[in-house]
Every structure is written in structure tokens, then in C-alpha cells.
Amino acid sequence: MKKILLSLLFVCSLVACSSVQEAQNLTNCKFALRSVEVTEYNLSSLGFDVVIAITNNNRQQTASLKRFEGKMTVNDEYMADVTLKDIRIEPNSTKNAKAAITVPMSTFSNKLFGLVSMGSATLDYHLTGTMYFEGPLGVEIPIPVDIGRIGSKN
């Protein structure tokens, strides 16, 4: 009985250590909003491809992102929710993760729509959210992420 309990404790500690290592790998990753491109437009909505570059600086271990849920703003106005799922970033490499989003025209304020249509303003994109990795027993562990801002001349 004592051996079974010790074996169970050993297995639990291994799982916990691997989860801590995975969390550390993921938190050491660098996130950058690579691009936001208009892919489709019509009278009712605009379609965008949002590309997020995730860089794993660890030289030996893969980082695994179970999912990312975030909100994209343009010039501090909410535009859309962005979701990514099941991304593996190999050691010492960068993975470009793409999310396709559709934004209804009703979301655009008059001010923002005017900036986009004039084509002469710099738009400031910002993405914040939470990334999740899988912990022991399938529990998802959240880590907040602020991907920052890029300016884009339209």
C-alpha cells in the first residue's frame, strides 16, 4: 500500500512539474500582432485576417497553446473577438497564427469609418486576451496576454 501511495505521489509530481515547465515555456514566448489585413468587404461587414506571431525562445522544448481568446480594438474602439486553438511552437522558432474575423459595419463608429474610408489616417490595432495551456487532468490554466499595438497606414 505504501509503495502504491509513493508511486502515485511520484506520478502526480511529474505531471505537476511538466505543467509548470509548459507554463514557463508559454509565458516566455513573445507575442506580436504581425498584421491585420482586410480580406472581404461588403455593405454589411468587413472581413479581416489577424496574424499573430508567437516566438518560442526556448532552445529545447516546444510550447503548446491550447487556445487564445482575445479582443481586438482599433483606435481604442472594440472591433471583434479573436480566437486561436491548438498551436504548437517548435523550439527557437516563430509560428504565425492566423484568425479570420468578420466585423459588422454597425460596429464601426462614424469617426473610425471616416478614418478608414479616407485612407490617410494611421489606425492603431491592439489585442489583449488570455492564453490557456493544458494542465494536469485536462484543466486549462489561463495566462493574461497584452499583445500590444501596431500602427497601420491605410
Region 106-117 average pLDDT: 64
Residue 90 φ/ψ, nearest 5 degrees: -65, 160
All structural domains of the chain with their residue ranges = 2-153
Q: How far apart are CA 54 and CA 30, in angstroms?
A: 6
With 0.95 as the threshold, say if the pTM is over it.
no
In this structure, the number of other CB atoms found within 10 A of the CB of residue 99 comes to 19
- Whether the CA torsion 67, 150, 128, 104 is positive or negative: it is negative
pLDDT above 50 for 6? no
pLDDT at 41 over 90: no
CATH of 2-153, one of 3.40.50.920, 2.40.37.10, 2.60.40.1820, 3.40.50.450: 2.60.40.1820
- Does pLDDT of 21 surpass 80? no
**Who contacts 28 (Cβ-Cβ below 8 Å, separation ≥6)?**
56, 57, 58, 63
pLDDT at 71: 92
Cell of 127: 489585442
What is the distance of C-alpha 33 from the center of its chain?
Answer: 9
Task: Give the Cα-Cα-Cα angle 6, 20, 31 (nearest 5 degrees).
Answer: 165
Residues in the chain: 154
pLDDT exceeds 50 at position 10: no
Interatomic CA distance for residues 140 and 132, integer angstroms: 6
The residues pairing with 94 across neighbouring beta strands, listed in sequence order, are 55
On the question of pLDDT at 120 being above 90, the answer is no
pLDDT in tens, 83-102: 999 888 888 899 999 999 88
